[in-house]
Amino acid sequence: MSSVKVAVFFGGVPAKNDEDTLKMNCPHIVVGTPGRILALAKSKVLNLRHVKHFIIDECDKVLESLDMRRDVQEIFKMTPHEKQVLMFSATLNKEIRPVCKKFMQDPMEIYIDDETKLTLH
């Protein structure tokens, strides 16, 4: 797996740095905040046409914020229809679950209600 290239993008650093990274390294995996990913995609520096996996960590927090939700929706629309969508949260409340489901088709949900059932390795 040493040939897999990963890049991380977030605000607070010059977008030019991210643009250079994308042009020179062409990462296989991109991790970032919704705002920066959207900005890179809108500026046509980040190509989302070949996305196979769309992952949102801490989806409850990301999708509760209307600004971030709007960014995620816009990014989502720029990706292929056929992709795997994964969402993760340790604190997913019942109110945000329907919002999460709007991004998925035939979702498989796994809930762990009792911490004694959870084993971390």
pLDDT digits (tens, 9 = 90+) for 11-41: 999 999 999 999 998 899 999 999 999 999 9
Separation between Cα atoms, residue 26 and residue 40, nearest integer Å: 13
Residue 102 lies in a domain: yes
Residue 88 lies in a domain: yes
Residue 114 has pLDDT above 70, yes or no: no
On whether the CB atoms of residues 6 and 27 are closer than 8 A, the answer is yes
Residue 1 lies in a domain: no
Separation between Cα atoms, residue 15 and residue 80, nearest integer Å: 25
Number of folded domains that form the chain: 1
Of 83 and 116, the structure prediction assigns the larger pLDDT to 83
pTM of the model: 0.86
Residue 108 lies in a domain: yes
Residue type, 120: L
State residue 93's pLDDT score. 86
3-state SS, residue 21:
helix
CATH number, domain with residue 97: 3.40.50.300
Find the domain containing 34 and state its range.
6-117
